[in-house]
Structure 1
Amino acid sequence: MTLVACAELLRDAGAAGRALAAFNVITLEHAQAVAAGADAAGAPAVLQVSQNAVAHHGGRLAPLAAALTALAREARAPLALHLDHVTSEALLRAAPAAGFGSVMFDASALPYAENVRATAAAVRFGHRHGLLVEAELGRIGGKPGDAHTPGVRTDPAEAAGFVGDTGVDALAVAVGSSHAMTERTAALDHGLIARLRTAVGVPLVLHGSSGVPDGELRRGVAAGLTKINVGTALNAALTRAVRAHLAADPDGVDPRRYLAAGRTAMTATVVRFLRALATG
Structure 2
Amino acid sequence: MFAPTGDLVATAAAARTAIGAFNVITIEHAEAIVAGAEAAGLPVILQVSENAVRFHHGRLAPIAAAARSIAEAADVPVGLHLDHVESDELLAQAAPNGFGSVMYDASRLPYAGNVAATAAAVARCRTAGLWVESELGEIGGKGGAHAFGARTDPGEAAAFVAATGVDALAVAVGSSHAMTTRSARLDHDLIGRLAVAVPVPLVLHGSSGVPDEELREAVRGGMAKINIGTALNTAFTGTVRSALGEQPDLVDPRRYLASARIAMAETVRAALRVLNSGVTTA
Q: TM-score range by the shorter chain?
A: over 0.9
Secondary structure of the structure 1 residue equivalent to 2:147: coil
CA drift at 1:98: 0.4
- Sequence identity percentage: 62
Equivalent-residue separation in structure 2 for 1:208 and 1:88 (angstroms):
21
Equivalent-residue separation in structure 2 for 1:264 and 1:65 (angstroms):
22
Contact 1:19–1:221 (8 Å) recurs in 2: yes
Aligned positions of 1:109-148 closer than 5 A: 109-148=108-147
CA drift at 1:50: 0.2
Matched to 1:205, the amino acid is V
What is the CA deviation profile of residues 168-209 of structure 1, one whole-angstrom value per residue up to 9, with x for unaligned ones? 110000001000000001111111111101111101000000
The residue that corresponds to 1:65 in the other structure is 64
The residue that corresponds to 1:153 in the other structure is 151
CA drift at 1:147: 4.2
1:209 aligned to 204, 207, 210, which one? Answer: 207
Runs of 4+ aligned residues of structure 1 deviating over 6 Å after TM superposition are none
CA drift at 1:143: 1.1
Matched to 1:99, the amino acid is G
Secondary structure of the structure 1 residue equivalent to 2:155: helix
The residue that corresponds to 2:244 in the other structure is 246
Secondary structure of the structure 2 residue equivalent to 1:140: coil
The residue that corresponds to 1:28 in the other structure is 27
What is the CA deviation profile of residues 128-175 of structure 1, one whole-angstrom value per residue up to 9, with x for unaligned ones? 11101100113100111134232x210000111111110111000000
Structure 1, unmatched stretches of 5+, are none
Contact 1:109–1:138 (8 Å) recurs in 2: no
Matched to 1:180, the amino acid is A
Matched to 2:2, the amino acid is L
The residue that corresponds to 1:227 in the other structure is 225
* Alignment: residue pair count: 278
The residue that corresponds to 1:188 in the other structure is 186
What is the CA deviation profile of residues 209-258 of structure 1, one whole-angstrom value per residue up to 9, with x for unaligned ones? 00000100000000010000000000000000000000010011001111
Contact 2:148–2:176 (8 Å) recurs in 1: no
The residue that corresponds to 2:11 in the other structure is 12
The residue that corresponds to 1:38 in the other structure is 37
Equivalent-residue separation in structure 2 for 1:36 and 1:136 (angstroms):
29
Secondary structure of the structure 2 residue equivalent to 1:228: strand
Equivalent-residue separation in structure 1 for 2:157 and 2:178 (angstroms):
24
Equivalent-residue separation in structure 2 for 1:226 and 1:149 (angstroms):
23
Equivalent-residue separation in structure 1 for 2:200 and 2:277 (angstroms):
23
